[in-house]
Chains A and B, each alone.
Chain A
Amino acid sequence: MPITRTEIVERLIAMLGPDQVVTDADVLKLSSVDRFRRYEELNGVFMLPIPAAVVYAESAADVSAVLAFANDNRINVVPRTGRSATEGGLETVVENSIVLDGSRMNRILKIDPYNMLATAECGAPLQAVEDAARALGLTTGHSPQSKPLAQMGGLVATRSIGQFSTLYGGIEDMLIGLEAVFPNGQICRIKNVPRRAAGPDIRHIAIGNEGALCFITEATVKLFKFQPENHVFLGYTLDSMKDGFEILRQVMVDGYRPSVARLYDPEDGAYHFSSFADGKCVLIFVAEGPAAITKATAEAIEAIVAASGVCKAVERKVIKSWFDNLNWGPEKVAEERVEIMTTHNIGNTTEISATWDVINDIYERASARIRAEIPDMTLVGGHSSHSYLNGTNLYFVHYYNLVDIKPEEEIVKYHHPIKKIIVEETIRAGGSMCHHHGVGKHRAPWIKDEYGSSYYMLETLKRAFDPNGIMNIGTIIPKA
């Protein structure tokens, strides 16, 4: 006899008190979705099962108690912190879910400038951690567009990456230690050491688990010296993406690490850089760090670009202005809501990665297919924004007019078919379908194709840590 919705709420209140258990109808509705379904949300349409309660944990012990209770009673738990997820990871897809919210655990526990470490609870906003670091002349080096919204636990859980990743890396390169709670209530702490060779790196069980294995309650990340006075901004226009990828590759292969290395196609470039793009592709670099390194990096990039013979330089101040406006803060979210509702035009993104030899093919094939197969498109573009020695990512940007649909049909008519094309073309070419937004629920259908024979390892992890299958059902691994 499964536990009823009323019993779930009563037991949670008995455990944590009424102030930590919310059953307000509006709150529950909003807690059934994330940004993937923002068009439905804007229209007040909520198609998914509404969770039984939102539970605000105030300690790892709270998290442990709630997870153990859910595990014993086979109740789905959706972990969350800053709610800036874009891929449906926060959707509640089964009845009577518990949304376990860590945003009240928002203390910055320690900024350690000697060992260059920052420790914060899962609900500490990255912006707050960054501000605290900046006050000491330091930076986390982590700057996802969601920085004003996202919180530490979610950033680790979704394997986030920031706009300066080409120098600082993704969160997996920054995270030193953490505390996480597993479905049986077990609280685990991974200590803070610079490196160790003591078996597998178990941090990776938590990083990117998207709430499907554990709930991250605390994270310790690296700190770096912040030296904005040394920043050098470089920008160029050029005719072809293929040439642009080639230049990115040359910079990486030659051993340079700009913090920003970006390549925009003409459509995306026109949107961001209308002052100079003029129908061209746009290449952007930012060198940061110690003065001697930034100087060398910038000079080397200038030489590589010059040798290519296909680029035209852009005034540096233009690039600096763009750099000063990188983040997707609350005011932009508010503007976007108005814009969607007045223009009936909505934009989404899909990010993939691949090695240098296939990235341009994926870009060309997927773009051509979207233009040909999806109706009402108003913009099909993209950019590369995170480069590596072996390849780069591609961030597809797709805008469409919403024509003759009910709010809930937006996903079916446009968003899913677009995502399908991009995922299919990427996997076919041997790339990864998810570069940094996570799998969520809407790319889970292709997870076996993504993993191939290594799916065994993923599935085994899931079975081992979440044998009752209560952790974020439908995320990463599709709902049965």
Chain B
Amino acid sequence: MDALLAFKMVPDLDLVTGEMVEGESTAVDTGYLRPIINPDDEGALELALQLRDQAEAAGATLPLSAVSVGGPAADRVLKTLMALRFARAMRLATAEDLTFRPDMVARDLADRVRQGGHRLLILGRQSSDGASGLVPPLVAASLGWPLIADVIDLSYRTDAALMVTCRRPDGVLRLTLRPPAVLAIADVAASYLRSPTLKDRMTHGKRPIEVIDVAEPVANNAGIAPLQPLPIGYSSSVERRSAVMVDGSDVAAALSALSAAWRGRGRAGP
């Protein structure tokens, strides 16, 4: 088994204190936010490392490679992954803004899987910024591989099989599957990537990362269509809470306010 991990660098949206856009806007400025690994992708990277730990404990090998599509912000992470003994760390360099181009990202990833002969593609369910959720199903469709969605855990079985735990709306499904497959990781408990020691960085992290230019459209993009048009605009979705105040000395009014809150939110889902 040989796995390719795909990750994206996204702005750290937790740093946003106010509203990101005012009124109707045609752009969202995120340039001032520090780039971090997309949270679902970070969970995927750590799960893959744990899978490799298990394989190695069983006396097997499980080579991991990583790829990110985009600008140089990913290089720091790619170097960290080399220090964590990844076999290859690649950046598919493009100057284009692919935030809302899941089709292009999927095309580049599928192409990379084919070229590298990988049997597993592991990546997060969606990015926090573009959030199309379309990259995993598009890559799977392009490769003709099954997509295992909402994966929360992986465990090693044999060189040809692994167990995948995933969420279904009504429970948890454990699948023993034979690659190839695309695994889309979502909301895992251990969503933090481990840290290599300074010694690991000296021993393994000095190997070069690969920067591959994908500015030119790749010829082999069959099956990847721009399913999602580019956004025509943005508005803020941040809801400010402003309490409707009720004087509790008027008990009837207070109870009626409680009842309203009780009923009003009973219907809608979380």
A residues sitting closer than 8 Å to B (CB atoms) are: 270, 272-275, 315, 317-318, 320-322, 324-325, 338-339, 342-345, 371, 375-380, 399-401
Contact = CB atoms under 8 A, between A and B. Distances in A.
Most A-side CB within 10 Å, residue of B32, B33, B191, B193: B32
Contacts of A273: 34
A274 B34 contact: yes
- Closest 4 pairs (CB-CB, A-B): A378-B195, A342-B190, A317-B32, A275-B34
Given A270-B76, A274-B34, A342 B195 contact: no
B38 to A, nearest CB: 14
Contacts of B25: none
B243 interface: no
B35 A371 contact: no
17 contacts: A270-B76, A274-B35, A274-B36, A275-B33, A275-B35, A275-B73, A321-B32, A321-B33, A325-B15, A325-B17, A342-B191, A345-B195, A378-B196, A378-B198, A379-B198, A401-B194, A401-B197
B197 A377 contact: yes
Interface string B182-211: 000000011111111110000000000000
A381 B15 CA distance: 22
Contacts of A274: 34-36, 73, 76
A318 B45 CA distance: 28
A417 to B, nearest CB: 15
A380 B17 contact: no
A342 B36 CA distance: 18
Name B's interface SS.
loop
A339 B192 contact: yes
A345 B191 CA distance: 13
A275 B192 CA distance: 19
Given A318-B32, A400-B197, 18 more contacts: A273-B34, A274-B73, A275-B73, A317-B31, A321-B16, A321-B33, A322-B15, A325-B15, A325-B17, A342-B46, A342-B189, A343-B46, A343-B192, A344-B194, A371-B198, A375-B197, A378-B195, A401-B197
A206 B15 CA distance: 37
Nearest to A275: B34
Interface residues of B, number: 23
Contacts of B14: 325
Contacts of A399: 195
Contacts of B16: 321
B32 A320 contact: yes
Nearest to A341: B190
Nearest to B200: A378
A375 B198 CA distance: 9
B52 to A, nearest CB: 16
A406 to B, nearest CB: 20
Interface string B166-185: 00000000000000000000
B195 A343 contact: yes
Nearest to B196: A378
Contacts of A338: 192
A377 B198 CA distance: 6
Contact of B198 (A270, A272, A380): A380
A303 B33 CA distance: 27
B35 to A, nearest CB: 6
B189 to A, nearest CB: 7
A391 B174 CA distance: 60
A339 to B, nearest CB: 5
Interface string B7-37: 0000000111100000000000001111110
A322 B33 CA distance: 8
Contacts of A378: 195-198
A321 B20 CA distance: 12
A380 B202 CA distance: 14
Interface string B91-124: 0000000000000000000000000000000000
Contacts of A380: 198
A325 B33 CA distance: 11
A378 to B, nearest CB: 4
Nearest to B14: A325
Contact of B32 (A315, A371, A376, A379): A315
A247 B183 CA distance: 51
B34 to A, nearest CB: 4
Nearest to A399: B195
A378 B83 CA distance: 11
